[in-house]
């Protein structure tokens, strides 16, 4: 694993709320909209100064802060104003006048054609993790209220991962009026059939053989056995995951995944980490976190097992690593989620509680070690408080959104926990998304 040190940045942004906070630190604006003539449709030259969460960058104009869609830090661009607010604006890049230090050649034909799959397709691969580190540092400062240089947070460690094209083993495509499947155009439901470079090409090789129902969605996977699975489903609401297939087009309805010595069998529409290396990387981080356990951290008697909670556990992918972190032979792990697990073939030390995490916590036994991988919205103050009330010594918290992860880490610290590791995993090369893995210990 590569270790990279960094200092928390100054201003950045986090969607609308961070836009307001950023604007508040900029130069006085007065009646900017009237006095500068900066209105929707105006084209202006601006330099992108720093990254913002969500794939945008931030520049400043005579009218204040502007969030730029299509620019990278250091770029000087021409941009058309697309939104005007009291405290900030948004703009779309129409041309790049001068490239900054992060811009390189495009890596994705689909993104070149306008798809929203790879927001960072023009970021130099060797600098992508660095750029994401800057975003994480800013969200920790802005949303988490962590002070630069304080002892509340350790230095961020960037975890080594394969960032080459084709590492994504999961894909969710739209279907156009012609029956062809592909990724969607950015900010649109239109379908683009050019190949996304991040997706395993074996998926495209199979999908391109078939015609689908216009308006449907196509869920695809390449599993650990190398089998390609393609299933047609009804379109899911925005931000929701498809749970049921309508028609199996290729492969079988169940995928087989292996992590270490454990085999997982579940529906094609079930959740699994998209990057082929991530499940093993996450498992390794959990096992390494066992080093923070105290000698006196254990059950009241030798007859009682060491207990671990695997919260938001899905199909239980991380549960075997938690069993190992607890020592194996005298461990009991309870995996909590709403996902139905079919034909569990893993450790006998793992059991499943199906239900809402917050509602299940009160009936669980006392844990020594907790792993939680909440959805993009985060775990939240109340759920973290309920976990902290049980006083597990070690916690591994996964976050797929840096803003909500920063908020959750602040909650942990407010409940007395200490962050001893902060890892960044570039699990989505070519896009602005990444995973944060924090290790915390009780006071």
Q: Which CATH number covers residue 404?
A: 3.40.50.150
Whether residues 296 and 151 share a domain: the answer is yes
Q: Is residue 139 part of a domain?
A: yes
Domain count along the chain: 3
Q: Global pTM?
A: 0.88
Whether 284 and 248 map to the same domain: the answer is no
Q: Tell me which of 253, 285, 315 is where a domain ends.
A: 253
Identify whether residues 296 and 433 lie together within a single domain.
Answer: yes
CB atoms within 10 A of CB 7: 9
Please indicate, yes or no, if residue 200 is contained in any of the structural domains.
Answer: yes
Given the residues 108, 117, 400, 405, the one annotated as active site: 400
Residue numbers belonging to the annotated binding site: 273, 312, 373
Q: 194 and 210: one domain?
A: yes
Q: Is residue 327 part of a domain?
A: yes
Q: What is the pLDDT of residue 33?
A: 38
400 as an active site residue: the answer is yes
User: Based on the domain organization, do 159 and 181 belong to the same domain?
Assistant: no
Task: Note whether residue 83 is domain-resident.
Answer: yes
Range of the domain at 69: 42-103
3-state secondary structure the chain: CCCCCCCCCCCCCEHHHHHHHHHHCCCCCCCHHHHHCCCCCCEEEEECCEECECCCEEEEECCEEEEEECCCCCCEEEEEEEEECCCEEEEEEEEEEECCCCECCCCCHHHHCCECCCCCCCECHHHHHHHHHHHHHHHHHHCCCCCCCCCCCCCEEEECCCCCCCCECEEEEEECCCCCEEEEECCCCCEECCCCCCECHHHHHHHCCCCCCCCCEEEEEECCCCCEEEEEECCCCCCCCCCCCCEEEECCCEEEEEECCEEEEEECCCCCCCECCHHHHHHHHHHHHHHHCCCCCCCCCCCCCEEEEEECCCCCCCHHHHHHHCCCCCEEEEEEECCCCCCCCCCCCEEEEECCHHHHHHHCCCCCEEEECCCCCCCCHHHHHHHHCCCCCEEEEEECCHHHHHHHHHHHHHCCCEEEEEEEECCCCCCCCCEEEEEEECC
- Assess whether 159 and 174 both reside in one domain: no
CATH of the domain at 48: 2.40.50.140
Last residue of a domain, one of 253, 283, 312: 253
pLDDT tens, N- to C-terminus, the chain (443 residues): 333 333 333 333 344 444 444 444 333 333 333 434 589 999 999 999 999 999 999 999 988 999 999 999 999 999 999 999 988 999 999 999 999 999 999 999 999 999 999 999 999 999 999 999 999 999 999 999 998 778 899 999 999 999 999 999 999 999 999 999 999 999 899 999 999 999 999 999 999 999 999 999 999 999 999 999 999 998 766 656 665 667 999 999 999 999 988 999 999 998 999 999 999 999 999 999 999 987 666 654 566 789 999 999 999 999 999 999 999 888 999 999 987 766 676 778 999 999 999 999 999 999 999 999 999 999 999 999 999 999 999 999 999 999 999 999 999 999 999 999 999 999 999 999 999 999 999 99
**36 falls within a domain:** no
Residues 91 and 180 in one domain: no
In a domain, 261, yes or no: no
- The pLDDT score that the predictor gives to residue 298 is 60
Judge if 96 and 213 occupy the same domain: no
- 358 with 401, same domain: the answer is yes
Is residue 149 domain-shared with residue 234, that is, in the same domain? no
Extract the annotated binding site for S-adenosyl-L-methionine.
273, 312, 373
Quick check: is 52 in a domain? yes
Any domain includes 113: no
Q: Are residues 354 and 378 in the same domain?
A: yes
Does 290 lie in the same domain as 221?
A: no
pLDDT at position 148, please?
A: 76
């Amino acid at each position: 694993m590569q270790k990279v040190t960094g200092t928390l940045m100054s201003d950045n942004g986090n969607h609308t709320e961070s836009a307001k906070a950023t604007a508040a630190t900029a130069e006085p604006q007065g009646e900017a909209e009237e006095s500068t003539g900066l209105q929707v449709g105006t084209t202006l030259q601006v330099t992108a100064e720093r990254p913002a969460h969500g794939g945008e960058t931030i520049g400043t104009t005579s009218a204040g802060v502007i969030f730029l869609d299509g620019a990278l830090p250091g770029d000087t661009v021409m941009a058309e104003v697309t939104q005007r607010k009291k405290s900030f604006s948004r703009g779309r890049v129409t041309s790049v006048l001068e490239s900054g230090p992060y811009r390189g050649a495009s890596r994705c034909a689909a993104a070149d054609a306008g798809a929203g799959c790879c927001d960072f397709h023009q970021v130099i691969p060797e600098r992508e993790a660095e750029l994401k580190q800057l975003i994480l540092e800013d969200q920790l400062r802005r949303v988490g209220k962590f002070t630069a240089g304080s002892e509340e947070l350790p230095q961020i460690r960037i975890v080594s991962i394969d960032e080459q094209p084709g590492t994504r083993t999961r894909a969710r495509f739209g279907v156009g009026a012609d029956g062809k499947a592909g990724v969607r155009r950015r900010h649109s439901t239109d379908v683009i059939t050019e190949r996304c470079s991040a997706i395993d090409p074996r998926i495209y090789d199979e999908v391109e053989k078939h015609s689908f129902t216009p308006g449907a969605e196509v869920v695809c996977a390449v599993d650990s056995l190398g089998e390609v699975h393609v299933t047609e489903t009804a379109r899911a609401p925005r931000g929701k995951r498809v749970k049921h297939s309508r028609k199996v087009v290729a492969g079988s309805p169940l995928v087989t995944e292996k992590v270490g010595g454990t085999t997982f069998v579940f529906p094609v529409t079930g959740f699994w980490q998209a990057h082929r290396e991530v499940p093993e990387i996450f498992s390794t981080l959990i096992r390494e976190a066992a080093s923070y356990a105290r000698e006196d951290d254990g059950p009241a008697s030798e007859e009682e097992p060491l207990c671990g909670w695997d919260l938001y556990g899905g199909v239980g992918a991380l549960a075997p690593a938690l069993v190992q972190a607890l020592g194996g032979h005298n461990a009991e792990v309870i995996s909590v989620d709403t996902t139905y697990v079919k034909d569990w073939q893993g450790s006998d030390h793992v059991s499943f509680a199906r239900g809402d995490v917050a509602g299940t916590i009160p009936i669980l036994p006392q844990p020594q070690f907790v792993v939680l991988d909440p959805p993009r919205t985060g775990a939240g103050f109340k759920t973290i408080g309920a976990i902290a009330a049980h006083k597990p010594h070690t916690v591994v918290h996964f976050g797929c959104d840096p803003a909500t992860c920063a908020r959750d880490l602040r909650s942990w610290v407010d409940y007395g926990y200490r962050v001893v590791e902060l890892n960044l995993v570039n699990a989505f090369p070519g896009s602005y998304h990444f995973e944060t893995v924090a290790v915390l210990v009780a006071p």
